[in-house]
Every structure is written in structure tokens, then in C-alpha cells.
Structure 1
Amino acid sequence: MANPRRQGLQSQPQSPNPPLLPLSSSSSSSDQPQTSSILTSVSLFLKRPQAFPFLLSIFVLLTWLSLRLQRPPQTPSYSSSSQFRDSRLSRSLDLDANLVRFNAVEIPSGIAKDKRGWLVDPVSLALENGIHGGARFCASVHVGEIRPGKMRGNHRHHTCNETFVIWGAETKFRLENPSMEGKGYAEVIVGADEVAVAVSPAGTAHALINVDHIKTTFLLGCQDSVINISSTTEYKIWKDL
């Protein structure tokens, strides 16, 4: 005879496994105390005197990063070579015009030894810099000025070599040079902050034009013989001046 109690137990359905709590809820609940603990620790640290050097370091770092981001991009490396080429070209043009230039502001320089300023011997300075054909000595000397927009020269001396010192304003110097194709002359601009020494051999035309709008050009002309203006000089060589 079957046991009614056993049959009752067997007929009852077995209950499923108890539900599991989501992992996310358990992990988030465990993270909250940790986060709160970290914030409390940071807050306590910032209240201590030792926190000041740390905060100062952070401020300096952020300032450095800000300056780095705001700094303009560096000039490409080829700019230095471009400037070198421009310098060589300028030097070549100066040689075509029998001219050498110096910075009138920089001290010391090739013409200024101390803070008193520049002082030159035009004849020696030209020869030392490879500019030949000028006056061998100064038998005659002229010192003068060229006001803005005005010109001196545009003539050719046949019996003397001449050496010039030019300074004070932006000045165009033109020298007759048959090797310059098409024009027959070389022409350069002397800056207002420069001193130039130029030479014009006998029989070579030259002209000096002040192209500055404000400043006055000053010049010294040294000739190795006394100029006979009436019989040994040609005038108005270039019609465009």
C-alpha cells in the first residue's frame, strides 16, 4: 500500500532556484563607499599645508601647457637657408655696384669699435673689403647732404677715381657697369641704418638719389685728383633720373 504522505510530496512541483541579484547593483553599491572615501581623503589632503606645493606645481604645468598651445608655429628650417641665399644675392649686387655696407647701429661692428659710434677711413675700408678702383688717396674731399627726393651725381669723371661714404637715409646708388646685361649699370639701396662705402673708377658714371621721404642722406666724396668740372666731366648720363 502506497504511502499517501510520500505521494503528496512527490506530486508537489519543485520550486525554481532563488533569483540572483544583479551584479551591477551590488558593484555600484560597493563603489559608492570607495568613491566617498577617496573624495574625503582628497579633501583632507587639500586642507593640509603640504598641499600648497602640489597645487602650485599643477598650476605651473597648466600654465606651461597653455603657453605651448598658444605659441605660433616655428619658422620652417628652410628659412635660414633662404636668408643665407638672400644675403649672398645682396652681397653679389653690392659687388656689382662696387659697394660694401655696414650696420650703423650694431656695436661692435666693422666700423664701430665702441659706444662712441662708427668711424671710417674710406680708402682703406674699401680696399680691405675687396672694393677696388676707388681713390688711392684723398687729394680732394667733398662733404654734403642730399635731401629727400633729390639727387647728386648722374655724371662721369674722366680724370679721377672717387670713393664715397653714404649714410643717414634710404639712398639709391647707381654705378655704370657694362657687364650688367640690358641696363649697363648696377643699382642698390643703402638702408637708413647702414653706412656704405662705394667706389667709382675714372670714366665710370655714378648717381646718388635720396629715396627716403623724411630723412636726409649724408655723403663724403674723396677724389685722388682735383676735379676739373668743365672739361673732364660728363653730365646727365641717365635720362630716367
Structure 2
Amino acid sequence: MANPRRSSVSFSSDPPSPAVAINLSLPSPPPQQYNQWSSLLFLKRPHAFPFLLLCFLLLTWVSLKFHHHYHQQQQDFDDPQGQQHQEGRVYRGPDELANLKRYDPSPSSKDFTDDRGWLLNPIAAAQRAGLSGGAQSCVAAHVGQIRPGGVRGNHRHHTCNETFIIWGAATTFRLENALATEKGYAEVTIGADEVAVAASPSGTAHALINVDRARSTYFLGCQDTIISYSNSETDFKIWKDLLVI
């Protein structure tokens, strides 16, 4: 019986020639792409949470600082006189520096008016308005008129506090105040359609100037001490631009 033919297969231990060698390794990513992959893998890990939280807090702080700066600039633009606290300084409005409170006496105002008109108690009105240094009582009172262009006051009482009610015409009230301006006084103008309560503490100069072209100013002055104008209790002609005392 004939033996079946066996096909002989020879195995060679020699490595394949370079011409037919197969490279099974994957290509390396470019350095930039590798860095992106590494960052993504880092952010997915649990220990990346504190880093993300720190970034969030930093962005929040920057946003709040920017918002505060913008808000402060807007306030300074809208209210240059300001009544805001900044760097430990208190900025006051003109009426506050002049120690004055103005009112609307129209019938629509219910603060001190009714169908008959307006009525004010000078002592109580100054206290309610928070004015400092006003008369504590009305020991001496005077009512006066100031024609257009006229001036009353321009003096300083050393022994009494004084409270004023002012109405009737456009009137400028000037009060000595070292904190007001480089001039050493605060000055505000009351409209002809307004009523104002003003206080002048003892030792503080004051003046009322009618700046209206046609109407007269009327005022009530209330002093808590009787003043003698013939002695040194009062200084006269404080401001040279206002000659009438």
C-alpha cells in the first residue's frame, strides 16, 4: 500500500525581511493634542474638584470687583455731591451742609399742610428734620421781610442758637461750615415755591439773601437767648460780599 504523499512545509526562524515587515504600533499623537488629552483626563479625576472650585471662586471674585467698580463709578456720575461713605469720609449733600430742610407746601403735600395752607412750629420742625444746633426754645422771635436783592444776617451770634423758617421768594441761605468748601461756608438756594427750616448753632455765621427779581422773602427767626446787638455777643459783616447785617 502506497504511503500518502506528505506535503512538506518548512518554517524559517529568520525574521521577515525589512521589505515585508508589518509595523503594529499606533502613531503617537502630536504634542499639542497629547496635552489636550491629558488636561481632559485630569479634569475627570476626583482630585481635580478643588482646582475647579478655586477657579470658580477666582472668577466670582473678579466679577464682583468689576461690578462694584462699575456701580461706584455710576453713583459718582449720578450724584457728584454724594452722601456716600468712601475711604472713611462722609460726603454730605448741600442742604445737609447748610443745616437746612426744604418742604413742598403744595396741597398735595400732607406733611404740614391741609386745605387752609401750611403751618410749622420752628422748634419741632427743626428737631424732626434732624437739624443740629437749632434753638431749644423760642425765648426771642422776630419776623421779617427781605426785598429783592436785600440781605439779612451776615453775622455770628456767640450766645444763642437760632432757627429760621424761610418762604416767599427765591432765597439763598448761607451758613458758616468749615467742612463745606474751601470758602468755609455752605450755600443753598430755596425756591419761591418751597418752605425751608434752617438752623444756625451758636458761634456760626449765617445770612439770608433774596435772589428773586420780583418777590419778597419772608422769614421767622427763633432764638433761645435774648441777644444784645450793642455788645460783643455778635460779630458783624462776616462776608465782605454781603454788606447788610
TM-score range with shorter-chain normalisation?
A: 0.5 to 0.7
Aligned equivalents of 1:111, 1:199: Cα separation in 2 = 19
Q: Which residue is 1:117 aligned to?
A: 117
Query: Given the two structures, how large is their TM-score scaled by the length of structure 2?
Result: 0.61
Residue 106 of structure 1: CA displacement? 3.9
- CA drift of 1:105 comes to 1.8
Alignment of 1:127-146 (within 5 A): 127-146=127-146
- Once the two structures are TM-superposed, the CA of residue 171 in structure 1 deviates from its matched residue by 0.1
Which secondary structure state, in structure 1, belongs to the residue aligned with residue 230 of structure 2? helix
* Structure 2 counterpart of 1:229: 229
Instruction: Report the equivalent of 1:33.
Output: none
Cα pair 1:155 1:236 within 8 Å, conserved: yes
Mapped partners of 1:108, 1:187: distance in 2: 25
Alpha-carbon separation, structure 2, partners of 1:106 and 1:85: 29
Tell me the equivalent position of 1:25.
Answer: none
Deviation at 1:130?
0.9
Q: 1:206 is paired with a residue of what secondary structure? A: strand
1 CA distance for matches of 2:106 and 2:148?
21
Asked if 1:149 is matched to 2:143, the reply is no
Is the partner of 1:229 in helix, strand or coil? coil
2:81/2:94 contact within 8 Å kept: no
Q: Which residue of 2 aligns with 1:104?
A: 105
Name the counterpart of 1:55.
none
Deviation at 1:186, TM superposition (A): 0.1
Amino acid of the residue matched to residue 207 of structure 1?
Answer: A
Q: Which residue is 2:6 aligned to?
A: none
Could you tell me whether the CA contact under 8 Å between 1:172 and 1:189 is conserved in 2?
A: yes
Q: 1:107 touches 1:115 (CA, 8 Å); kept in 2?
A: no
How far did 1:88 drift? 6.4
Give 1:1-241 correspondences, 5 Å limit.
Answer: 85=79, 92-112=93-113, 114-231=114-231, 232-241=233-242
User: How far has the Cα of 1:129 moved from its partner?
Assistant: 1.2
Offset, 1:216: 0.4
User: Using a 3 Å threshold, how does the CA distance of structure 1 residues 121 and 173 change in structure 2: closer, same or farther?
Assistant: same
Query: How many residue pairs were aligned?
Result: 159
Q: CA deviation at 1:86?
A: 8.2
Give the direction of change, closer, same or farther, for the CA distance of 1:117–1:87 in structure 2 (3 Å limit): farther
> Which amino acid counterpart does residue 122 of structure 2 have in structure 1?
P
Contact 1:133–1:161 (Cα < 8 Å) also in 2? yes
- How has the CA–CA distance of structure 1 residues 108 and 220 changed in structure 2, closer, same or farther, with 3 Å as cutoff? same
Paired letter, 1:128: R
Quick check: which one's helix share is greater?
Answer: 1
- Once residues 127 and 214 of structure 1 are traced to their aligned partners in structure 2, the CA distance between those partners, rounded to angstroms, is 32
Normalized against structure 1, the TM-score is what? 0.62
Letter in 2 for 1:235: F
Ranges in structure 2 where 5+ consecutive residues have no aligned partner: 1-74, 84-91
SS for the counterpart of 2:127 is helix
Amino acid at match of 1:148: P
The CA distance in 2 between the partners of 1:109 and 1:233, in whole Å, is 38
Q: Deviations over 1:49-94 (max 9, x none)?
A: xxxxxxxxxxxxxxxxxxxxxxxxxxxxxxxx99x848967x8110
User: Which whole-Å CA distance do the structure 1 matches of 2:145 and 2:230 have between them?
Assistant: 22
* Structure 1 residues 151-201: Cα deviation after superposition (integer angstroms, max 9, x where no partner): 000000111000000000000000000112311000000000000000000
- Give yes or no for contact 2:107–2:117 (8 Å, CA) kept in 1: no
Secondary structure at the counterpart of residue 153 of structure 1: strand
